[in-house]
Amino acid sequence: MSRYSIVVMLEVVDKSGKAMEKLLKELNAAGSDEATLTDCYQYEDNQAGDEDAFAREPFVLRFSCPDTAVKDLILIPVHTKPEDSLKELDELHDVVQAVRSNWGSDNIMILGDFNADGRYLSKRKKQTMRICSEPYHWLITDDVDTTSSNNNDNTYDRIVVYGEKMLEAVVSGSAKSFNYQEEFNLTDEEVRHTTASSNHLTERRLLKLRVCKTLSVSDHYPVEVELKTDQNQEDAAPTRPTAATKGRAPKKGPQKKTEPTAVKKRNPAPKKKSGDAPAAAKAPTKRRRVIK
């Protein structure tokens, strides 16, 4: 998470209920002036004749980002119900219009687990959705694998921006999934777990289970995107990526594969990666990333 300036986390599984509290405490202790949450609200899913369209109503966030090309950034995190992904994703158009009306800004990014692939959403049905036409722009395309499971290479997680201004604020080619399995060299390991047998009162046995370190983190890769910073602020500190996409990972066929959304900073002198857009003329452009 240190890679990013803003991170959106979805579907956190923690029976103790303490993990998020601990995470927030440590993150807030670190401090950051790259982005400041200025407003937020839960979308009211109460349109007449179409109430309760979402299984999980979007929680809309507004940030002040003084060093980016867009100073005002609105994020709409999404986690659709798989079986209803087509309807819920189409309804996001109404959410966007409500946000535009409430806050008077078009700097909108939708990101999260869309369940927008495989048996949940065909390419044909996807094209019928209102958010699949102008002025919406899908940054994570269908060829990107966002699942850490070796059993599929679906593109469930997406990042979508609204309007040309927001699209122009994105660093070209920066939207991608972050394969943390390869980045951190995670491998499978065998561990011994003590479990009770069917007769748990009198008999116990040791079972050797194969545990995948990657899946123990998440069954999704994070998707990330990087936002341009204001070229006129040459003295501004380098920025990180935003949780949403950080480079495009090709889908896996037979090969093995290895989820978050965020905004991430770059080092002052980053190495140039293949596929990156050429540097802007004269004054270098500082960038910020967002990850989901």
Q: What is the pLDDT of residue 165?
A: 96
Give CA–CA dist 242/289, Å, rounded: 3
DSSP 3-state assignment of 76?
A: strand
Over residues 84-105, the mean pLDDT reads: 96
State yes or no: pLDDT of 42 exceeds 70. Answer: yes
Q: Write the CATH number of the domain with boundaries 4-275+283-291.
A: 3.60.10.10
pLDDT per residue over 213-257, tens digit each? 666 777 778 899 999 987 634 444 445 555 543 334 444 444 444
Place of tokens 């867009």: 70
Q: Which of 228, 107, 223 is nearest to 170 (CA)?
A: 228
Ranges of each domain in the chain = 4-275+283-291
Q: Which of 238, 271, 183, 272 is nearest to 67 (CA)?
A: 238
Structure-block tokens of residue 181:
């399995």
Give CA–CA dist 209/211, Å, rounded: 6
Q: What is the pLDDT of residue 285?
A: 40
Q: What is the pLDDT of residue 272?
A: 40
**Residue with the larger pLDDT of the pair 28 and 222:** 222
Using an 8 Å Cβ cutoff, are 231 and 288 in contact? no
Q: Which of 180, 217, 210 is nearest to 19 (CA)?
A: 217
Which one-letter amino acid corresponds to residue 211? V
State yes or no: pLDDT of 200 exceeds 50. Answer: no
DSSP 3-state assignment of 239?
A: coil
Q: Beta strand pairing status for 4-8 and 287-291?
A: parallel
pLDDT per residue over 6-15, tens digit each? 999 888 888 8
Structure-block tokens of residue 222:
């994070």
**Residue with the larger pLDDT of the pair 137 and 196:** 137
